[in-house]
Chain A
């Protein structure tokens, strides 16, 4: 039995056991089953990755079951393992296993734990199906499967209206992207006569060369139509500009979910798709230009919003959106290796940041607003260090040609590739990327400074007030989740300590099972770049990827030849962002308020997320509901029923009254048309 079968299907099995067993199975068994399954999958995935890394493995496909056979359309359930899959395997199973472990601590007060762990494992299964897909339809299966898991996990706290709304929004907005994906698959089948990914990629250059297709009444370049349709799917799943609105709202889900799904794995599926189909995208410079533009615009746009948000998770969510933009424009300029490298490093440091944020939220009694944090580094030092490692990694701290944190290697590779590509659009992407890097550095350090430095501002937080109140008054009313740490944590809180802004609250460091994942991910955030840099982006890249994605050797050479200022630009903007953040949030804390006073319009624009939600509500949601009511009340009831059956019923009613008077009417009806007789028969039965 090929290990990939165990890697993929063990999480599914665990999800079924934990999900159906639920409370009958008990908390600990369901957690052991799911977490154990993920650690086994993870342990089996790393050897596969390492064998690809040292060049000893070859791409292979493990068939599982026939799926659909209809005319010329024929595809199986099958698991494909090549370098690209192997990279995704280790990312998914490692982060997922750690998130499972972390959730033991984070969700320990939750009464619905088995359901949570079942969903997590179900998600992992769907994600693994996505990355092992050998045909587009199985990829779509995984694609929608992770969407389902995401829906269920965002809405995990289903009593909260905001969580339900966010879950539904995530699913529906993703469906808009999926419409593109589905149309793309239809188009691919029409053009290639197959949905098998290897066959498509092999024949693409020949089939698509100069080919045109009729689409919606226009005659367009075939490759462009197909790639853009498929890319719309990627935009939905990876929350790119226009279809991004669901991602910030998705933060309603429990924080481990945000780390696993909305940072490390699911949202990168779009990048994976573009890389997987890179030979197809290479056939259309127009589509690649579109990818570059969307990526660059998103990385800038999301970063601007990240600078003004006050919810710690939303800052990281916009940061994710922005980093995905980097990955897309890397793919757009042809640096697929760099895109995958950033996906790889980003998975570690972004999962770390989210889990770190979760640890902060855990310590701060479910308070997520950074305005009510401050001075936490002395209270939760390990979390502080982990978050710092993550921030050093995301802001790309490092010295050119010496060493640096994970993000330093991958982000610099992307920026260099964008510059080296040398087209107008790639330069646009480069400058957008540089500016976004400045903003990234600013908002990331802003987060760290607001949370861990300065004086505590906890007393204004309602959550903290509740916690302190509960600890003193023993008023365990609706705060079932307080109990576990409520007793010993706050027992020694003092009322007279209020003067220091702590409200007498004492945050405690998270338990062991939450700190271990933070520690391991910190190692990833520090070393993932320096260790794997060579394999992912270098002249030797081709040997690593083995054709799993398109590799331009000349682009690698050009990247080495970029001017010095290009190499140093990321470092410079990183330092600048750090300085501004330091000035505004440590040195002169009145500065942000003064800035907001000065540029109120800009601030409001960013704080309200460029008004996308309002716009969409106005353009789509309200008209849909309005049209629904009109079609129902006016169309169905006012026109169709009124002139159709109701009119006829009126005539029949009049007629049958006459018939009753005539007594013999029934007989005639029977004799004329059998069916009209039924009216009488039925009337008789009903009236009896």
Chain B
């Protein structure tokens, strides 16, 4: 594989597809989009298969200097690899979800989606700071269009809100980037990840990046764009928004904030913890009282993303790997839940929970899939949701038992709001004749649900497939932030008298308590 510009190809394929879609009619466009995304999926599989786990940190690197130190630099590590894999995996499913429901201006719709795929892969593959910035910000444009043109009744308000929030952070981040390039003399991300910025500068740089990533994440209290964006977006828009766009914030933290500003990260960890704790409790409670299915799942996303930030700022391997797994899992599970909502929305054209009920009777297989994804969202062991959540919380417990306790209440509240949703939509009597007449999943919907279901179980039972590629990168990041790692509040002290035999074991445990 060496030398073959596979990453550029993966960026190019959807771009070509997008251009082709623009001029095509509805039938043609969706077929072009499907083939294009499947080709990219195949390329993603090739990419994964050729990724040398445990090999060089940056692989498939490409570099072409353009102008003024700005270069077309691509390359991935394990962290980027799994996120690219998530993107190319979800894209064909998104096209499938749009298959029948998008009728107006379909060519432009699919073009927007394919353009977004290019930009999302670009975000994860970019090795040049400004290339990253362009991809990162431009990625919003297609999403903005998708919500604004093909969205629901309040789409204009939602897209403006979405745009305003993200604009705020971007400007600050751009300024910070200029400063960094000036100080470090390079736009190369791998070099910057090793560069030690002066501590006082780190503080401001961290805050500038934080403004952008916290909105993208989204963290409480800058989360209110998400429920509106989700509610108004078409199904596929919600899937990709929850599935990939929310992961950009987490990716930003793991790629920029933590390795580039470790000292400031430690300094602001309590802030992140506080916001995350607030998010877990507050947004979970809000999710409990929602009447709109999509809004409920959107709020649950905020709560889940809070566990991601908690894990990232635990500064240990479990926390970091857990956060990565939650991001992957949430991408699949929240995507699948929105897809499920889309399935019934296509039939009844409402997101109002009360308009449903008793779907287990007329849509048993839909009920089964929705149960699987509900359980994965709740974090039932054996599904993808558990492993990440468990590792993240375990990681943060080593830093602070209070934070761990408050965030772990998320498992109770999560069960409450998701099961309450399930009960009202799937269980109960068939109150509404039109809801009772809805047919079960058709072939197209089966084809979308089955892969998601299988991967959710795979990640729950054998997460090693996903942990292995990023193990080395996480270890390096862990070493990089080791200086910043908080002492932890546990501080296990051994007893007075101790037989020599146990001494070594105890030594090791104490090290645990302090090192993490």
Chain A interface residues (CB < 8 Å from chain B): 19, 22, 65-73, 77, 137, 140-141, 144-145, 148, 151, 155, 158-159, 161, 164-165, 167-168, 171-172, 175-176, 178-179, 182-183, 185-187, 189-193, 203, 206-217, 222, 624-625, 627-629, 631-632, 635-637, 640-641, 644-645, 648-649, 652, 673-676, 678-679, 681-682, 685-686
| B227: nearest chain-A partner, CB-CB | A636
Give B274 Cβ to nearest chain A Cβ, in Å. Answer: 15
Q: Given known contacts A207-B494, A215-B489, what 13 new A-B pairs fall within 8 Å (CB)?
A: A155-B427, A164-B427, A176-B412, A183-B401, A191-B490, A193-B508, A216-B401, A624-B288, A628-B288, A628-B289, A629-B289, A640-B221, A682-B141
Give B382 Cβ to nearest chain A Cβ, in Å. Answer: 6
Residues of B within 8 A of A161 (CB): 428
Residues of A within 8 A of B478 (CB): 71
Give complex CA distance A175, B405 in Å.
Answer: 13
Give B141 Cβ to nearest chain A Cβ, in Å. Answer: 6
Given contacts A179-B409, A682-B141, A686-B148, contact A69 B464 (CB under 8 A): yes
- The answer to whether A211 touches B493, judged by C-beta atoms less than 8 angstroms apart, is yes
Given contacts A207-B502, A624-B285, contact A159 B428 (CB under 8 A): yes
Give A645 Cβ to nearest chain B Cβ, in Å. Answer: 5
| B381: nearest chain-A partner, CB-CB | A141
Interface residues of B in 266-297 (CB under 8 A from A): 282-283, 285-290
Residues of A within 8 A of B401 (CB): 183, 214-216
Identify B463's interface contact among A68, A71, A627, CB under 8 A.
Answer: A68
Give B300 Cβ to nearest chain A Cβ, in Å. Answer: 13
Interface with A: B11-19, B36-44, B89-97, B155-163, which one?
B155-163
Interface residues of B in 208-232 (CB under 8 A from A): 221-222, 224-225, 227
Given contacts A65-B461, A678-B163, contact A71 B316 (CB under 8 A): yes
- The answer to whether B505 touches A66, judged by C-beta atoms less than 8 angstroms apart, is no
Give complex CA distance A190, B318 in Å.
Answer: 11
Given contacts A70-B322, A682-B148, contact A206 B499 (CB under 8 A): yes
Given contacts A645-B225, A678-B163, contact A632 B289 (CB under 8 A): yes
Residues of B within 8 A of A206 (CB): 498-499, 501-502, 505-506
- The answer to whether B394 touches A217, judged by C-beta atoms less than 8 angstroms apart, is no
Residues of A within 8 A of B170 (CB): 675
- The answer to whether A179 touches B408, judged by C-beta atoms less than 8 angstroms apart, is yes
Residues of A within 8 A of B394 (CB): 73, 185-186, 189
Give complex CA distance A191, B488 in Å.
Answer: 13
Residues of B within 8 A of A178 (CB): 411
8 nearest A-B residue pairs (beta carbon): A210-B495, A206-B502, A71-B317, A186-B397, A628-B285, A141-B381, A628-B289, A158-B427
Give A686 Cβ to nearest chain B Cβ, in Å. Answer: 5
- The answer to whether B318 touches A686, judged by C-beta atoms less than 8 angstroms apart, is no
Let me know if B167 is at the binding interface, CB within 8 A. yes
| B290: nearest chain-A partner, CB-CB | A632
Most chain A CB neighbours (cut-off 10 Å) among B285, B321, B408, B471: B285
Residues of A within 8 A of B100 (CB): none
Q: What are 20 sample pairs from A and B whose C-beta atoms fall under 8 A apart?
A: A66-B462, A67-B464, A70-B321, A73-B394, A77-B461, A159-B358, A172-B412, A179-B405, A182-B390, A190-B490, A190-B509, A206-B505, A206-B506, A207-B494, A211-B492, A215-B489, A635-B286, A673-B171, A675-B167, A682-B148
Residues of B within 8 A of A155 (CB): 423, 427
Chain B 3-26 near chain A by CB (<8 Å), digits 1 or 0: 000000000000000000000000
Give A426 Cβ to nearest chain B Cβ, in Å. Answer: 26
| A652: nearest chain-B partner, CB-CB | B164
Given contacts A159-B428, A193-B508, A206-B498, contact A632 B286 (CB under 8 A): yes
Identify A210's interface contact among B164, B397, B398, B496, CB under 8 A.
Answer: B496
Interface with A: B177-185, B252-260, B413-421, which one?
B413-421
- The answer to whether A209 touches B497, judged by C-beta atoms less than 8 angstroms apart, is yes
Give complex CA distance A179, B461 in Å.
Answer: 21
- The answer to whether A183 touches B405, judged by C-beta atoms less than 8 angstroms apart, is yes
- The answer to whether B493 touches A212, judged by C-beta atoms less than 8 angstroms apart, is yes
Chain B 344-360 near chain A by CB (<8 Å), digits 1 or 0: 00000000000000101
In the complex, how many residue pairs between chain A and chain B have their CB atoms under 8 Å apart?
242
Let me know if B102 is at the binding interface, CB within 8 A. no
Residues of A within 8 A of B420 (CB): 168
| A627: nearest chain-B partner, CB-CB | B285
Let me know if B441 is at the binding interface, CB within 8 A. no
Given contacts A178-B411, A189-B394, contact A210 B494 (CB under 8 A): yes
Q: How large is the interface on B (under 10, 10 to 19, 20 to 34, 35 or more residues)?
A: 35 or more
Give A508 Cβ to nearest chain B Cβ, in Å. Answer: 31
Give A181 Cβ to nearest chain B Cβ, in Å. Answer: 10
Let me know if B60 is at the binding interface, CB within 8 A. no
Give complex CA distance A559, B375 in Å.
Answer: 47
Give A69 Cβ to nearest chain B Cβ, in Å. Answer: 6
Give complex CA distance A306, B199 in Å.
Answer: 66
Given contacts A70-B317, A191-B492, contact A644 B412 (CB under 8 A): no
Identify B364's interface contact among A22, A65, A72, A676, CB under 8 A.
Answer: A22
Given contacts A214-B489, A215-B401, contact A679 B163 (CB under 8 A): yes
Give complex CA distance A686, B160 in Å.
Answer: 12
Give B46 Cβ to nearest chain A Cβ, in Å. Answer: 25
Identify B464's interface contact among A66, A167, A185, CB under 8 A.
Answer: A66
Give A230 Cβ to nearest chain B Cβ, in Å. Answer: 14
Chain B 498-515 near chain A by CB (<8 Å), digits 1 or 0: 110110011011001100
Residues of A within 8 A of B416 (CB): 168, 172, 624
Residues of A within 8 A of B475 (CB): 71
- The answer to whether B489 touches A217, judged by C-beta atoms less than 8 angstroms apart, is yes
Residues of A within 8 A of B404 (CB): 183, 186
Given contacts A211-B495, A678-B141, A682-B148, contact A183 B381 (CB under 8 A): no
Identify B282's interface contact among A207, A222, A635, CB under 8 A.
Answer: A635
Residues of B within 8 A of A675 (CB): 137, 167, 170-171
Give B270 Cβ to nearest chain A Cβ, in Å. Answer: 15
Residues of B within 8 A of A217 (CB): 402, 489
Give B479 Cβ to nearest chain A Cβ, in Å. Answer: 12
Identify A144's interface contact among B381, B408, B461, B496, CB under 8 A.
Answer: B381
Identify A148's interface contact among B321, B375, B398, B467, CB under 8 A.
Answer: B375
Chain B 129-158 near chain A by CB (<8 Å), digits 1 or 0: 000000001001100110011000000110
Let me know if B387 is at the binding interface, CB within 8 A. yes
Residues of B within 8 A of A211 (CB): 492-495
Interface residues of B in 78-133 (CB under 8 A from A): none
- The answer to whether A70 touches B318, judged by C-beta atoms less than 8 angstroms apart, is yes
Give complex CA distance A165, B322 in Å.
Answer: 33
Give complex CA distance A73, B382 in Å.
Answer: 17
Given contacts A183-B397, A640-B224, contact A649 B160 (CB under 8 A): yes
- The answer to whether B462 touches A67, judged by C-beta atoms less than 8 angstroms apart, is yes
Given contacts A164-B427, A640-B224, contact A222 B492 (CB under 8 A): yes
Most chain A CB neighbours (cut-off 10 Å) among B165, B415, B475: B415
Given contacts A66-B464, A171-B419, A632-B286, contact A192 B490 (CB under 8 A): no
- The answer to whether A182 touches B492, judged by C-beta atoms less than 8 angstroms apart, is no
Residues of A within 8 A of B491 (CB): 213-214
Let me know if B391 is at the binding interface, CB within 8 A. yes
Residues of A within 8 A of B157 (CB): 649
Give complex CA distance A645, B464 in Å.
Answer: 42
- The answer to whether B490 touches A214, judged by C-beta atoms less than 8 angstroms apart, is yes
Give B253 Cβ to nearest chain A Cβ, in Å. Answer: 18
Give complex CA distance A631, B427 in Å.
Answer: 28
Give complex CA distance A168, B329 in Å.
Answer: 24
- The answer to whether B419 touches A207, judged by C-beta atoms less than 8 angstroms apart, is no
Chain B 293-321 near chain A by CB (<8 Å), digits 1 or 0: 00000000000000000000000111001
Let me know if B434 is at the binding interface, CB within 8 A. no
Give complex CA distance A137, B391 in Å.
Answer: 11
Give B105 Cβ to nearest chain A Cβ, in Å. Answer: 10
Identify A193's interface contact among B287, B368, B512, CB under 8 A.
Answer: B512
- The answer to whether B163 touches A686, judged by C-beta atoms less than 8 angstroms apart, is no
